[in-house]
Structure 1
């Protein structure tokens, strides 16, 4: 049975009322994780038509969705709508994280604690004080959180940028978390808030995100990658293409042999030229702290 919880916001009361209908036949944790997973797959597969993950996620969606009755199946889109409505009405909040804590579902994650949103907002204001200068310098910049949880830090960062009139084409959001449900909560909220970027489900210590640039990360087999809808925007796709071209041109440059400039060229496979830090710093998630810019 769902717990009786006292909420302060009408949006939270309505969400809990609808969500409790799913808890009549299963425990609240299972209902929550199923809601989060189905919502994330719905968002991802709406635009992802080519990746190898699409078919696997669609099969998973049907497996989970069909385990519920017809009446219960209609509750999932209601919950996603209420989430989107709450974030649209007040984007300055970690809606899913707050619901998760209010319904005491965090008891299932021993040792895990979601940072309060007001602390996240303070961190965002401090970290992004020079955001406008970064945009003027390169046209865009990246912001990362290697332990994203439900996404409160990145949501707060997004709102700091919004208040500074810096839109989705100027900031690339990169998030990672070891927990599947937490990472997807972050993915859902950032996607609904119109952010561009990707969320990776994997241990950020054992399997950190690295690569020649934030636009060209090297995904490992252990990485479960979820691209936000706005990352498919033509602006970002053109930037990815440009970064690929620069990397390819760099790899075609051959280094002189050890004998000097006048000696024969070394007979070896050329390696990609490093990207200058001033233009496109290499991607190492977590290298600058929990909330850092690149």
Structure 2
């Protein structure tokens, strides 16, 4: 998307909070490069969120936070909390719009703002996928994946070049449209080589209460420089859930060698319960809005008929499985972050 196209889209779709965010950013332009201010803002927001839940990395991240603050005058520093409040406000508007069906749904707020301001690295080929395209792609796969998540406890999504997290946001919206609570049934592992993108993705997924590990790394060279856990990941105990899922997948892989059918025929292999049990209303015609235990974001939970089909999700998994390099990288990420 060109800058002019991004500006037209922004003028048409931005809410008052997003406009306030851009206005506050531009107030720095007299003494700072806009690119630097934006990068500092998203990093400070990421550091502030992380330091509320990830005590293991607190000292280094608090030091980095104070280094960034030291670059600005006291009156300028006061704008950063105001910008974060504006960003939070726009997500509140969009989540509420998703819930009430008013037509104002989720979007890649920071990615769109980044492109609209013209501070992306065009020379390196840095262009974010328009959210409409991400939503279309998520919609093609989301129903099958969400149904499996509802049946199995949760689904994992792995994004090797996440940008600002637009594809994961679109997947969360697809889960909602399929009647599945993404705050309980979705876990994302996101990777990007650009540290600014890592911070943007982390902040947005944190505000949407998506359980995720956001990794600063390179999926091609298989290097990992850092990782960020969203509050939903930490408070939801997802490290343990992912370890349990890995153990179960390993056991299932052993049984799939032929012993599984034999033992199941004798009734000798009990099927373990789902890692996460989703709460659904007992009557199909009812639906209610509920708050996640550790979230300030309301989500809509409603029942969904789970059908065990070999659909687009199977095709997607087979395609990913055919790329051993990507699988090996995410295996490294899991080993570094979970164990």
Q: TM-score, normalised by structure 1?
A: 0.74
Structure 1: unaligned runs, 5 residues or longer: 208-219, 248-272, 289-294
Distance 2:194 2:132 in 1: 23
**Higher mean Cα deviation, 233-242 or 62-71?**
233-242
Structure ranking higher in helix proportion: 2
Deviation (angstroms), 1:186: 0.8
8 Å contact kept, 1:22–1:75: no
- Matching of residues 214-293 of structure 1 within 5 Å: 222-240=224-242, 242=244, 246=247, 274-277=250-253, 286-287=326-327
State the partner residue of 1:181.
196
SS in 2 for 1:200: strand
SS in 2 for 1:24: coil
State the partner residue of 1:26.
32
Structure 2 residue 179 is the aligned partner of structure 1 residue 165:
yes
Distance 1:100 1:30 in 2: 12
State the partner residue of 1:72.
76
8 Å contact kept, 1:146–1:285: no
SS in 2 for 1:169: helix
What do residues 142-172 of structure 1 show as CA deviations (whole Å, max 9, x unaligned)? 0121100011111111111122232212111
SS in 2 for 1:120: helix
Deviation (angstroms), 1:21: 1.8
State the partner residue of 1:253.
none
Alignment match of 1:202 (pick from 207, 217, 220): 217
Distance 1:274 1:135, change over 3 A: closer
SS in 1 for 2:124: coil
Distance 1:239 1:24 in 2: 49
8 Å contact kept, 1:144–1:285: no
8 Å contact kept, 2:146–2:155: no
SS in 1 for 2:72: coil
Distance 1:103 1:155, change over 3 A: same
8 Å contact kept, 2:143–2:178: no
State the partner residue of 2:310.
none
8 Å contact kept, 1:140–1:169: yes
Deviation (angstroms), 1:285: 8.2
What do residues 17-41 of structure 1 show as CA deviations (whole Å, max 9, x unaligned)? 1111222211111111110110100
Distance 2:242 2:37 in 1: 38
Structure 2 residue 119 is the aligned partner of structure 1 residue 105:
yes
Paired residues in the alignment total 243
Deviation (angstroms), 1:57: 1.0
Deviation (angstroms), 1:205: 1.2
8 Å contact kept, 2:110–2:200: yes
State the partner residue of 2:304.
none
Alignment match of 2:138 (pick from 92, 116, 124): 124
Deviation (angstroms), 1:125: 0.4
Alignment match of 2:168 (pick from 154, 166, 171): 154
Distance 1:32 1:139, change over 3 A: same
Structure 2: unaligned runs, 5 residues or longer: 1-6, 96-105, 257-271, 276-316, 329-339
Distance 1:123 1:240, change over 3 A: closer
Structure 2 residue 88 is the aligned partner of structure 1 residue 84:
yes
Deviation (angstroms), 1:112: 1.1
Distance 1:12 1:243 in 2: 39
Q: Cα RMSD between the aligned structures?
A: 2.9
8 Å contact kept, 2:143–2:175: no
